[in-house]
Structure 1
């Protein structure tokens, strides 16, 4: 009796030890990636500045005279720390995701693991697509919009020039990358919910008008307070919502086909059983 009561907590302890192991591996991966990224922090920041350079060219300004500034002695140092943390999160994400999967996988059936794996692959791919859209198109477009608002000498009483701070520029581009990356997860989330029966394509179509309003609200919360950023995030969100409806419809068709095949197989088995008994 005593042995039985001592054995009961064991599975929970094993799960906690497994969770601790996965967390340690994730933290180690993040820390090592942070050290590497911090060593190359200036190079990484210069990589993030390229979209701003494109915006300067689009605005027909002198690239040689364009600059970013920092107004506090420690500002650029902490900006490099933030760059290193952002880069470390991106680099270590595959390891962190794999550790999460290894922790969850033992509790899933074989068919559930096979169904979950494509979403595990699609999620980072979609995040990269969202980040690439920000880097190659959206950030240059937004910065071009702001640069075009400058007032050259002779156009007014004084010249008005944009001199972005390094910390504010980093905050802008990282916020946009994270926002677009998360929004691009919409097809993955809705498809997963459709697979477990919590969402249907019909329900998504019926709620389309509410989704459009919600897209602009979310864009207003996640992006900087300017119309270019908000519209630029809301429109891809609406497009992804339409893709989610199509993905949910595909899941429903596949489920219906599988259910029909199962019914046919069951009927065939019953028929064979009746024939053998007669």
Structure 2
């Protein structure tokens, strides 16, 4: 008994890549992907609601290390809540952050699945590389922010006016820490912008290196303005980290330029206002040979009028 194999048609990715999908089909695909991403975030929210208490205790550790925050039994004091709904709302916020992180692989995959068909093969390859680098950089920035909060709170409390209690309001304290983590994580993506400029051929490694004075100034100015921590510890550490990441990105750009052979062109070592090293040819230009005048074109013969349809025959009729 013979079984007929059913031929599979082109996949959704292939149809979106070759442009055979209609506008309504693109809208339906977007709807389905948004629905799946929402389900992943809701699932992560449920898991994050269960993990909110351990995460809160982790964020509370820098506060517990401050002097004057423990009782006579060595137990850390509770943070201050000013409203009955403060604890529940704060738990929902932490659960939402955790839900976005836990469901990140799913909703990022859905986002990538909708965008990738519009990219070329080499563009998708570089997108994979940059995404794989962006996640560790964000995690490194978040870890550094946690260290900054741990060390910076002690400086802030010891440098302020005396006679104040170290009992913080819980919403302001958690907001301070999450803002620091988000700021440091996003700031650590700065070298990826430079690498994109270099890999796209917009700026060479030498040009990126020529910006070092301006980049260092911008790093310190950004750290001074954007950091929620007014102490010098967090500002300086963020600025130095961004400066180090800048030079690492420039080093990678030099390797990429060497691999692609950039900088070996004839005019690569010349400035915009520098004269090219081409030799000046003083030999006169000789006159060319004389061109004879062509004969006039004759008048074309008139075209014969076509025969009637009933008088047209070929070799088959």
TM bucket normalised to smaller = 0.7 to 0.9
Deviation of the 1:113 alpha carbon? 2.4
Q: Which runs of 5+ in 1 are unaligned?
A: 1-7, 261-278
1:52–1:139: 8 Å Cα contact kept in structure 2? Answer: no
CA deviation vs aligned residue, 1:57-107 (integer Å, no higher than 9, x gap): xx5874525442112222222211211111112222222222222222222
Residue 218 of structure 2 corresponds to residue 230 of structure 1: no
Q: Residue 11 of structure 1 corresponds to which residue in structure 2?
A: 22
What pairs up with 1:120-269 in 2 under 5 angstroms?
120-135=131-146, 137-149=147-159, 159-224=163-228, 226-228=230-232, 229-256=234-261
Structure 2 residue corresponding to 1:104, chosen from 115, 127, 131: 115
Q: CA RMSD in A?
A: 2.7
Q: Residue 32 of structure 2 corresponds to which residue in structure 1?
A: 21
Alpha-carbon spacing, 1:184–1:65, altered in 2? closer, same or farther (3 Å): closer
1:175–1:222: 8 Å Cα contact kept in structure 2? Answer: no
Q: Please report the TM-score for the alignment, with normalisation by the length of structure 1.
A: 0.77
Q: Please report the TM-score for the alignment, with normalisation by the length of structure 2.
A: 0.68
Q: Radius of gyration: which is bigger?
A: 2
Give the whole-Å Cα distance in 2 for the aligned partners of 1:67 and 1:145.
21
Deviation of the 1:42 alpha carbon? 2.2
Give the whole-Å Cα distance in 1 for the aligned partners of 2:25 and 2:256.
36
Secondary structure at the counterpart of residue 115 of structure 1:
helix
Give the whole-Å Cα distance in 1 for the aligned partners of 2:69 and 2:82.
23
Q: Considering Cα pairs closer than 8 Å and 6+ residues apart, tell me whether 1 or 2 has the greater RCO.
A: 1
Give the whole-Å Cα distance in 1 for the aligned partners of 2:195 and 2:223.
22
Deviation of the 1:45 alpha carbon? 0.9
Q: Which runs of 5+ in 2 are unaligned?
A: 1-18, 266-317
Alpha-carbon spacing, 1:16–1:194, altered in 2? closer, same or farther (3 Å): farther
User: How many positions carry a matched residue from both structures?
Assistant: 242
Deviation of the 1:116 alpha carbon? 2.4
Give the whole-Å Cα distance in 1 for the aligned partners of 2:251 and 2:27.
40
Give the whole-Å Cα distance in 1 for the aligned partners of 2:27 and 2:257.
37
Give the whole-Å Cα distance in 2 for the aligned partners of 1:134 and 1:40.
21
Give the whole-Å Cα distance in 1 for the aligned partners of 2:137 and 2:238.
15
